[in-house]
Amino acid sequence: MLADLLKDKHLILGSSSPRRQALIKGLGLDVEIRIKAVKEEYPDRLRHFEISDYLAQLKSIPFEDTLAPNDILMTSDTIVWFENKALGKPKDNNEAFEMLKSLSDHTHEVITSVCFKSLGKQKTINSITKVTFKALSDSEINYYINNFSVLDKAGSYGVQDWIGQVAVTKIEGSYFNVMGFPMDMIYDTLLTF
């Protein structure tokens, strides 16, 4: 259905995330992957979804001069919000351990923002999902860090990984948002964009 509506559009995903790429292709859409590196920094004054909105929009800027009239660009950012601060991607395994230890036995928010851009038009959406972890032992955290890729994920975890199966006790909101792409909102936005 969506593919028919967008048949005259050229969809571009500005993300190297294999999860986002698989999810958007799961909608049956033909999408081009374009990667442009951006330094993911934001002003200290920003809070909560303002951070992910800002970063999603920031990631769209390098593409502005290359968009054709029928292009729709999507760029995105995900953060974990816990105790009034943003947890992004960890710098190393030690930082990943500290993040996961802090999330253990608590509820946090996963916030994903998506910026849609075409010539002369831009719209940014965001989705917030609450995720509750059981209490994790140090050995469980170390097992996860040593056996799964954690350095490319906000908050040091992927809900689709082992840790999601054994540690997540409750999700309030979109599961796909926790994976990094709020598919329900993306679908609805593409219907009207």
> Taking the mean position of all CA atoms in its chain, how far away is CA 15?
10
Could you read off the pLDDT of 46-58 as tens digits, one per residue?
999 999 999 999 9
Residue 92 appears among annotated catalytic residues: no
pLDDT tens, 58-108?
999 999 999 999 999 999 999 999 999 999 899 999 999 999 999 999 999
pLDDT tens track for 19-46: 999 999 999 999 999 999 999 999 999 9
Quick one: the chain helix, strand, coil %, rounded to 5?
Answer: 40, 25, 35
Which of 77, 92, 161, 184 does the annotation list as catalytic?
77
Please give the tally of structural domains in the chain. Answer: 1
Can you give the residue range of the structural domain that contains 20?
2-192
pTM, two decimal places: 0.94
